[in-house]
């Protein structure tokens, strides 16, 4: 573990994690091809949150710490609640699947981890104001999860 695998913490399976580590060693972020509906269903958490502060830190690799305030909870296996503040990390390097969020902007954030500790490009993350009506309706309850997985070949984003 440590800095090298940090961006991979957002991936769901061990297999994907290993794949991710291998890909990181050749400096590229690669994600399974999934549409947002599938990403939402696979996520351990999905929230609307405002970024309060962004801090750059480093151990082996540089990473950012996003201090977020939760405004809405769409999905959580760890009891996230409106008004909670969380510090989530992400690699400072997009090639390691790091995401860059801006202070004072509201985002839709999802990913793995209960409780969540990190964010990565393989999860569905979007500025809240840039989501489509279908997407906001989807995360508010219209996305059906638990149905057989849609093949990514026929899935639309």
Site residues for ligand NAG per CB under 6 A? 67, 85-87
Q: Which is nearer to ligand NAG, 25 or 81 (CB)?
A: 81
Residue 35 CA to chain centroid, in angstroms?
13
Q: Which is nearer to ligand NAG, 36 or 89 (CB)?
A: 89
CB of 90 to ligand NAG, least distance (A): 14
CB of 116 to ligand NAG, least distance (A): 12
CB of 19 to ligand NAG, least distance (A): 31
Nearest to 55 by CA among 69, 65, 42: 65
Tokens of 46: 């999905």
Q: Which is nearer to ligand NAG, 39 or 111 (CB)?
A: 111
Q: Which is nearer to ligand NAG, 13 or 87 (CB)?
A: 87
CB atoms under 10 Å from CB of 7, counted, come to 30
CA trace torsion 86, 97, 3, 27 (10° rounding): -170
Residue whose Cβ sits closest to ligand NAG: 87
Q: For residues 145 and 156, what is the distance between their CA atoms, to the nearest angstrom?
A: 16
Sheet (strand 62-76) strand order:
85-91, 62-76, 45-58, 106-111, 125-127
CB of 124 to ligand NAG, least distance (A): 23
């Amino acid at each position: 573990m440590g800095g090298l695998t940090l961006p991979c913490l957002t991936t769901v399976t061990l297999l994907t994690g290993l794949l991710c580590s291998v890909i990181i060693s050749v400096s590229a972020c690669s994600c399974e091809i999934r549409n947002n509906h599938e990403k939402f269903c696979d996520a351990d958490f999905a929230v609307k949150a405002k970024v309060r502060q962004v801090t750059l830190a480093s151990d082996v690799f540089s990473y950012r710490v996003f201090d977020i305030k939760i405004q809405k909870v769409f999905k959580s296996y760890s009891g996230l609640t409106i008004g909670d503040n969380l510090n989530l990390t992400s690699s400072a390097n997009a090639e390691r699947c790091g995401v860059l969020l801006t202070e004072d902007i509201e985002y839709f954030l999802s990913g793995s981890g209960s409780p969540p500790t990190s964010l990565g490009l393989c999860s569905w993350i979007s500025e809240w104001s840039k989501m489509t009506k279908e997407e906001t309706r989807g995360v508010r309850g219209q996305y059906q999860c638990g149905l057989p997985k849609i093949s990514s070949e026929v899935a639309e984003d």
